[in-house]
């Protein structure tokens, strides 16, 4: 009943602002499902929630090297797919076979650009997002020979070209600069030891990321943009990796985050 009361209070709060079409749709949907939702909630048992680990493991293994045609639009995201699958398997305590690990390492090595970084697949140009996916996948394999394929010299040179005078990072040469770039670059540098070896790669980066915190309390993709959950994650993670979490206005951030949680389903809005 306490949760149900909270639901009605939050509904009332929404009417204090402008009633946009999306807010009205959200309220109507919550009204339709709330009765069934809370009836089910009252019947909930502690052992009712189960993760079908074997089913997940079988699905992930099946998709590691054989994706259906419907995935062709993700051709430039192949290191991401490898990382998501390997990371999920690790979380499920699945031991990745030697043959599978070797094939993954070979594939990611073929996706490494000769001028530094990793592309979305063999012969594709280097991109910070796919470099993040590739390096994290290699790290998730927990093998020294996996991380040894990374050419750290060309990686550092490439990242230096992406680094901008204000501290931000381009996602790729000639590409856009936003908080994603700063996070991907920082995470890759941390995992490969470049953050310690080349601290100048991140000159002014912490200050630039901190300037992306908005009056709302969250972080936008660039200074002056609307706060967004995805960018907030990237910004906070970047500042923590750089050891500059002191630049975060934590009270404002916590206020913004707590107000993004939906009362009925418990999930969070992006903005």
Q: Give pLDDT tens digits for 14-70.
A: 444 567 888 888 888 888 887 777 777 667 666 666 889 999 999 999 998 888 889
Determine the 3-state secondary structure of 177 from DSSP.
Answer: strand
Contact by Cβ (8 Å): 157, 114:
no
**What is the gyration radius of the CA atoms in the chain, in angstroms?**
22
pTM for this structure? 0.86
Contact by Cβ (8 Å): 160, 201:
yes
In the predicted model, residues of the chain with pLDDT beneath 70 are 1-18, 41-42, 44-49
Specify burial of residue 145 (Cβ count, 10 A radius: 0-12, 13-18, 19+): exposed
Determine the 3-state secondary structure of 271 from DSSP.
Answer: coil
Tokens of 114: 């000769």
The total number of residues written for the chain in this structure: 271
Q: Which helix (H) or strand (E) holds 30?
A: helix 21-42
| First CA to last CA distance, the chain | 28
Phi and psi at residue 242, to the nearest 5°? -85, 0
> pLDDT at position 35, please?
75
Tokens of 155: 């990686």
> pLDDT at position 8, please?
44
Place of tokens 């309390």: 217
Angle at 203 between CA 201 and CA 207, to 5 degrees: 135
> pLDDT at position 185, please?
99
Contact by Cβ (8 Å): 258, 31:
no
Q: Which long-range contacts (CB under 8 A, 24 or more apart) does 94-100 make?
A: 94/57, 94/60, 96/141, 100/64
- Residue 130's closest CA among 59, 89, 200, 74? 74
Please tell me the distance from the alpha carbon of residue 103 to that of residue 237, in angstroms, as a whole number.
31
Contact by Cβ (8 Å): 138, 132:
no
Contact by Cβ (8 Å): 206, 244:
yes
- Residue 82's closest CA among 119, 49, 125? 119
Q: Give pLDDT tens digits for 248-270.
A: 999 999 999 998 887 777 778 87
């Amino acid at each position: 009943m306490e949760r149900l009361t909270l639901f009605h209070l939050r509904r009332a709060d929404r009417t204090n602002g402008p009633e946009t079409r999306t807010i009205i749709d959200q309220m109507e949907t919550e009204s339709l499902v709330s009765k069934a939702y809370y009836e089910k909630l009252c019947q909930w048992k502690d052992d009712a929630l189960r993760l079908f680990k074997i089913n997940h493991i079988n699905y992930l293994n099946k998709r590691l090297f054989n994706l259906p045609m419907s995935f062709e639009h993700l051709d430039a995201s192949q290191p991401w797919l490898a990382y998501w699958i390997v990371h999920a398997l690790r979380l499920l305590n699945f031991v990745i076979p030697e043959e599978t690990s070797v094939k993954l390492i070979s594939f990611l090595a073929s996706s490494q650009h000769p001028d530094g970084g990793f592309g979305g697949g063999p012969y594709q140009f280097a991109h910070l997002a796919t470099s993040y996916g590739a390096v994290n996948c290699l790290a998730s394999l927990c093998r020294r020979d996996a991380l040894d394929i990374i050419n750290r010299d060309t990686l550092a040179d490439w990242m230096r070209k992406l680094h901008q005078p204000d501290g931000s990072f381009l996602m790729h040469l000639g590409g856009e600069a936003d908080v994603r770039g700063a996070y991907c670059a920082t995470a890759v540098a941390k995992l490969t030891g470049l953050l310690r070896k080349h601290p100048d790669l991140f000159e002014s980066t912490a200050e630039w990321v901190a300037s992306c915190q908005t009056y709302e309390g969250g972080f936008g993709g660039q200074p002056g943009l609307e706060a967004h959950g995805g960018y907030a994650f990237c910004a906070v993670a970047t500042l923590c990796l750089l050891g500059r979490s002191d630049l975060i206005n934590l009270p404002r951030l916590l206020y913004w985050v707590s107000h993004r949680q939906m009362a009925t389903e418990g999930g969070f809005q992006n903005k």
